[in-house]
Amino acid sequence: MRFFTQHGKRLLWALGLSLLITACDDQKQAEPQNEVEEIQGQEIAVLTDPPSVPPPITRKHATKVIVNLEVIEKEMQMMDGVSYVFWTFGGTVPGKFIRVRQGDFVEFHLKNHPDNKLPHNIDLHAVTGQGGGAAATFTAPGHETQFSFTALNPGLYIYHCATAPVGMHIGNGMYGLILVEPKEGLPKVDREFYVCQGDFYTTGNYGDAGLQPFDMAKAVREEPDYVVFNGKVGALTGANALKAKVGEKIRLFVGNGGPNLVSSFHVIGEIFDNVYREAGSVPDHNIQTTLIPAGGASITEFTLNVPGEFILVDHSIFRAFNKGALGILSTEGDPNKLLFSGQQDDRIYQPEGGAIQSMPTEPAPEAKPMTKEEKLTQGKNIYASNCQACHQADGKGIPNAFPPLAGSDYFANDPSKAIMAVSHGLSGKITVNGKQFDGVMPKQNLSDAQTAAVITYVLNNFGNKGGEVNPEDVTKLRK
């Protein structure tokens, strides 16, 4: 009896084990394969500065790859006129782009330049192992450390410094991307670019000139002064814009170093044909905006069908237009009017019809000449609904954007200049009260009587010196 029970137990145990083994087998099939390949030969990794990417890997086998990365603490521009002491992997923000193949055996050397003041290390998200290599690479200034790992999982991974205070090391620019290409490689494209977003915290506000120290309190509150692509306001605009041609297939390797913000990455005027969301292995299609976590990445691909200046933004849009998260992909080539026409028409739109805007019993205001009093009352309303959004309720405008109408010397001695601005629009460099403006004021779709009213209102308010404009004055200038 005793024997039978024991035997039965053993039988059950064996059955359970074999079930477990079968289950494991099934699981193995469903999960990505990452068994270790035989290593053949060795090479030194080609590392590139943003926005360049090392060439695609054509090898069909795993190899030993030696990566030499040097930490450099150095002063660079955060924006023209604003400098900052960045801590970098390789002298740039983001750091050098590293490209290896799945299965590669990576021998990693981290060098901390002797002129640096602090110890640093590296946590590569591509590493399976303690701290992503952080403790293994803790490196004092003037030292070099080494560790190795096998790149098991393909994907695009952030690497960053993980030396305490970690937020400060990342916040000073210590991050970059490492691509582990799948064994079969990535589909061929015409151009690849390296873009990485980061948020920065300075004692001064956005644009305050000079050398700006890191502001720990702002970083803890997650209130960045700068949110930028590739370490600087304008790193990807003007002469630094990314360049491509119509018909080309583009791949963007986009990372987000943080330290705090999540990016809503978008390219204005493009739709991503493929997005490897969070840099996973299977692409989604037809994506407009993709979220990139802090400490994460995304691969986006699209074909350029028409020429234009395609604008890369974090679609948390104040970051783009007020904190720097804006880049340009400048695309040359022949237009295709069928795919995109550009503006084809601009005409007056009056849903109620031009004449029905007054009570039928009263004569239309434009027919009966307005008294100055009437102009002031009507002008006030026109100002509130047509001008105030830009020139502000107090007429003082917004520095560097919208010039003041209050005490403006631009039209003080010649109200026709104000009439011209409203009836024709105004653009290009102008000086108002000693300040230069270079904006665009759209032409205002107002009738001659309405224009006369609003300018009379402006002339008699905001500390201006008075006067009156008649519809005929506008009619004359309108031509």
Distance CA 130, CA 21 (A): 28
- For ligand HEC, give the closer residue by CB, 132 or 404: 404
Question: CB of 388 within 8 A of CB of 461?
Answer: no
238 binds, options Cu ion, ligand HEC, none, Cβ within 5 to 8 A by partner type:
none
Both tokens of residue 114? 């002797």
163 binds, options ligand HEC, Cu ion, none, Cβ within 5 to 8 A by partner type:
Cu ion
Question: Alpha helices of 270-327 — where are they, by DSSP H?
Answer: 318-322
84 binds, options ligand HEC, Cu ion, none, Cβ within 5 to 8 A by partner type:
none
Closest separation in Å from C-beta 161 to Cu ion: 3
Binding test (CB under 5 A) with Cu ion, winner from 136, 174, 180, 441 = 174
120 binds, options Cu ion, ligand HEC, none, Cβ within 5 to 8 A by partner type:
Cu ion
Convert 185-209 to b/e letters by CB count within 10 Å (16 or more is b): ebeebebbbbbbbbbbbbeeebbee
Closest separation in Å from C-beta 346 to ligand HEC: 15
- Residue nearest Cu ion by beta-carbon distance: 161
Distance CA 324, CA 231 (A): 10
Closest separation in Å from C-beta 312 to ligand HEC: 25
For residue 5, give the 3-state DSSP assignment: helix
103 binds, options ligand HEC, Cu ion, none, Cβ within 5 to 8 A by partner type:
none
- For Cu ion, give the closer residue by CB, 98 or 161: 161
Q: Which stretch binds Cu ion (CB under 5 A): 53-61, 120-128, 260-268, 297-305?
A: 120-128
Closest separation in Å from C-beta 379 to ligand HEC: 9
For 88, other C-beta atoms within 10 Å of its C-beta total 25
Question: CB of 136 within 8 A of CB of 179?
Answer: no
Kind and range of the H or E run holding 226: strand 226-229
- Residue 119 contacts by C-beta under 8 Å, 6 or more apart in sequence? 112, 138, 139, 140, 141, 163
Distance CA 139, CA 361 (A): 87
Name the nearest CA neighbour of 283 among 257, 326, 251: 251
Question: CB of 185 within 8 A of CB of 227?
Answer: no
Write out the binding residues for Cu ion, residues 132-171 only, by CB under 5 A. Answer: 161, 163, 169
Phi and psi (nearest 5°) for 319?
-65, -35
Interaction site with ligand HEC (CB under 6 A): 386-387, 389-391, 402-405, 408, 410-411, 418, 421-422, 426-428, 430, 432, 437-442, 444, 454, 458
For residue 175, give the 3-state DSSP assignment: strand
Closest separation in Å from C-beta 468 to ligand HEC: 15
227 binds, options ligand HEC, Cu ion, none, Cβ within 5 to 8 A by partner type:
none
Question: CB of 69 within 8 A of CB of 106?
Answer: no
Closest separation in Å from C-beta 184 to ligand HEC: 52
- For ligand HEC, give the closer residue by CB, 246 or 430: 430
For 447, other C-beta atoms within 10 Å of its C-beta total 15
Name the nearest CA neighbour of 152 among 34, 37, 60: 34
438 binds, options ligand HEC, Cu ion, none, Cβ within 5 to 8 A by partner type:
ligand HEC
405 binds, options Cu ion, ligand HEC, none, Cβ within 5 to 8 A by partner type:
ligand HEC
- For ligand HEC, give the closer residue by CB, 69 or 421: 421
Point out which residues pair with 314 in neighbouring strands: 265
Closest separation in Å from C-beta 82 to Cu ion: 22
Closest separation in Å from C-beta 134 to Cu ion: 10
Q: Which stretch binds Cu ion (CB under 5 A): 90-98, 116-124, 207-215, 229-237?
A: 116-124
Point out which residues pair with 74 in neighbouring strands: 86
Distance CA 411, CA 456 (A): 12
125 binds, options Cu ion, ligand HEC, none, Cβ within 5 to 8 A by partner type:
none
- For Cu ion, give the closer residue by CB, 101 or 169: 169
Closest separation in Å from C-beta 340 to Cu ion: 46
Write out the binding residues for Cu ion, residues 25-54 only, by CB under 5 A. Answer: none
Binding footprint of Cu ion on the chain (CB under 5 A): 120, 161, 163, 169, 174
